[in-house]
Amino acid sequence: MSSDADKHECSCGKGLTRRQFLTSAGAGALIVTASGHLGKDQEASAAVIKSGEETKITLLINGKQFQMLVEPRWSLLYVLREELGFTATKEGCGRGECGACTVLIDGMPRYACMTLAVEAEGVEITTVEGLMKGEDLGPVQKAFVEHDAFQCGYCTPGQIMAVEGLLRKEPDPTVGQIRQGVSGNLCRCGAYPHIIDAARRAAEMKKSGAL
């Protein structure tokens, strides 16, 4: 719908835009087609793990290591919520459309529902729980409280992670960059104006070192 003048000034926020994602996926397909022997190599290597069979992985979540058995098809979202109890990360669609499950992967906001748990080995995963210092809220969380940047609160952990990721990359974002940065996170209650205010405030708080 409405075109946004600021749309193009932001190279931050999400790890990949949809366009970039499609481009890279397309390129991947091309490589497979070009090198026909790739399939054979796979056949020769370890047996394919079927759904239902579990594989051992180690995840690094909020600075702590978690070793566990997972089915290869389990999403990071499923493992976080159902296996490990990190329920701040919410499920809103399970298919990369709403952003409720946004976490940081190596500091970048990503949809946990679109990431397999087995793919998430060897990267640093941060959830809302990881922004806390003990019982104390982090600056983005505090700014969300101050500006009433939510209503029902269900999309909120995802919004907070999107803002956190944005500020790690761009400590002093413009309103346009913020709008772009949280545009992958739906809020049906429509708290966007307050979310944008909160993101600005969080940037100030982070700058002044106030935690």
Partner 1 sequence: MNESERNIYYLRGIPVPETPPPGKDPAPWKKTDIVGTSIPRVDAYERVSGTARYPSDIHLPRMLYAAVLRCPHPHAEVMNVDTSAAEGMPGVRAVISGITSDTDFAWWYSKEIKTKIFDPLCRFEGEEVAAVAAETAYQAWDAVRAITVEYKVLPFIAEESKSLDSSSPLLHPNGNTAKTDKYSRGDVGAGFSEADIVLDETYRTECELHMPMELHGCVASWDNDRLTIWESAQGVYSIQSRIAEILGLPLSKVRVIGHYMGGGFGSKLQPGKYTVIAALLAKKTGRPVRLFLTREETFLAVGNRPPATMQLKAGVKKDGTLTALEFSCIATGGAYPANGTGLVDWLVRDLYLCPNVKTETKDVYINAGPSRPFRAPGHPQAAWALEQMMDALAEQIGMDPIELRLKNIPSFSQGREGNPPYTTTGLRECLSEGAKAFGWEQARKYSSGSKENGHVKRGVGVASALWFAGGGNPPSTAVVKLFSDGSVNLNMGASDIGTGTKTVMTMIVSEELGVKPEMVQIEYADTATTQYATPSGGSKTVPTEGPAVRAAALSVKQQLLSFAAADLKTDESSLTLRGDEVISMKDPLVKVKIHDVTGLKKRGVIVGVGYRGPNPERKVVNPFAAQFCEVEVNTMTGEVRIIRFLGCHDSGRVMNRLTYDNQVFGGITMGIGLAMTEARILDRDQTGKMVNRNLHDYKLPTSLDVPKEMKSLPIEKPDDTANTIGAKGLGEPVTIPTAAAVANAVYHAVDVRMMKTPITPLQLCQALEKGGKEGSK
Edge to edge, what strands does the sheet with 108-111 contain? Answer: 64-70, 55-61, 124-126, 102-105, 108-111
Local structure of 33: helix, strand or coil:
helix
Cα dihedral sign for 172, 176, 181, 182?
A: positive
- Candidate list 11, 22, 58, 73; residue touching partner 1; CB under 8 A: 73
Q: Which of 189, 134, 179, 110 is nearest to 156 (CA)?
A: 189
- Candidate list 28, 107, 122, 153; residue touching partner 1; CB under 8 A: 153
Segment near partner 1 (CB under 8 A); pick from 25-33, 104-112, 128-136, 165-173: 128-136
Binding flag, residue 194, partner 1 (CB under 8 A): yes
Binding flag, residue 111, partner 1 (CB under 8 A): no
Nearer to partner 1, 38 or 145 (CB): 145
CA distance 4 to 9: 10
- Judged by CB under 8 A, the number of residues near partner 1 is 65
CA distance 209 to 136: 15
Distances (CA, A) of 166 to 62, 76, 130: 18, 21, 16
Do residues 142 and 175 make contact, with C-beta atoms less than 8 angstroms apart?
Answer: no
- The strand pairing partners of 110, in sequence order, are 103
Q: Which of 157, 154, 155, 162 is nearest to 178 (CA)?
A: 162
- Candidate list 93, 121, 207, 211; residue touching partner 1; CB under 8 A: 93
Nearer to partner 1, 19 or 40 (CB): 19
Binding flag, residue 79, partner 1 (CB under 8 A): no
Q: Site mask, partner 1, residues 170-189, x = CB under 8 A?
A: -----x--xxx-xxxxxxxx
Both tokens of 194, joined, read 């307050």
Minimum CB–partner distance for residue 44 and partner 1 (Å): 29
Binding flag, residue 10, partner 1 (CB under 8 A): no
Footprint on this chain of partner 1 (rule: CB under 8 A) = 1-4, 7, 51-52, 71, 73-74, 78, 81-82, 85-95, 97-98, 100, 127-129, 132, 137, 141, 144-146, 148, 150-157, 160, 175, 178-180, 182-196
